[in-house]
Amino acid sequence: MAIVKRIVKVDISKLDEGLHASAENVTIEPNRLILRGADFMAIPHRTPVDIIVYYEDGLQFFFGEVTLSLPMQINVEILSVVSDKKERRRSLKVRTSFDAVALRMFSVSGRRSMRINVPIRVRDMSVGGIGFFCNHPFFRRQKLILDMGYLKKDLKVEFQILRKEKIEAHMVDGVEISKIGFKFRYGGSMLGITAEQERMITEYVFKVQLAERQKRKDVDTDRRNANP
């Protein structure tokens, strides 16, 4: 299972726990990757992990086991290629919060479209899907074009709504007001994303996961220092 393309970066995550380590200094050996860095968190021997290998023109998912875990080096044995998209995306989801724009909406039949420029607030994100808040009433199965310029300038993706939920609101001077300022919560899938877009979204998801993990680590350290 040799890797022949030039690797830009490798991320590994303990199953269902999100990102655990990331490295750009990577050595490739037959069926093994050696990650070098600093302050890697310890991973028990033979822990199953998801492996995401970034290339210049895309990315690839593998399944493996940790064979060595040190603060400055992690060795991972590659056991198999993960080809099932649902399987490989299972742990690649994060809570987030950034503004985006629904540029265009299509009729449910898909025959007509209309430019709308409706603001949305992205609330969670995975490699294949997005959850967001919005005040505009869309329909299930409706398709949108979303401007995701927060991730990269001019990044636009096609999106299909699969879930819709009306947010509980209360009346203020005869007007419905929700606690979070939005009327609807939507969720769905991105359609036809390119390899470059998939890599970009995956990097963002793992960046958020790594920041959250570091935040929890810092909180634990502060608690231990406060209670020696």
Reported as a single tens digit per residue, the pLDDT across 103-121 is 999 998 888 999 999 999 9
pLDDT of 67 reads 96
**Domain end position, chosen among 90, 125, 147:** 90
Q: What is the CATH number of the domain that holds 72?
A: 2.40.10.220
**218 inside domain:** no
* Amino acid identity, position 175: V
3-state secondary structure of 37: coil
The whole-angstrom separation of Cα 217 and Cα 228 is 16
The answer to which of 82-91, 159-168, 184-193 has the lowest mean pLDDT is 82-91
Residue 102 contacts residue 134 (beta carbons within 8 Å)? yes
3-state secondary structure of 9: strand
pLDDT of 222 reads 67
Residues spanned by the domain of 137: 93-199
User: In the predicted model, what is the mean pLDDT of residues 211-215?
Assistant: 73
Q: State the DSSP code for 225.
A: H
Q: What is the pLDDT of residues 134-155, one digit of tens each?
A: 999 999 999 999 999 999 888 9
pLDDT of 127 reads 79
- Quickly state the pLDDT bin for 220 (edges 50, 70, 90): low
**68 inside domain:** yes
**Domain end position, chosen among 50, 67, 90:** 90
Let me know whether 172 and 192 are in one domain: yes
pLDDT of 171 reads 58
pLDDT of 157 reads 94
Let me know whether 138 and 183 are in one domain: yes
pLDDT of 180 reads 74
Structure pTM?
Answer: 0.66
Let me know whether 86 and 178 are in one domain: no
Query: What's the distance, Cα to Cα, between the start and end of the chain in Å?
Result: 48
Q: 172 CB contacts (<8 Å, ≥6 apart)? A: none
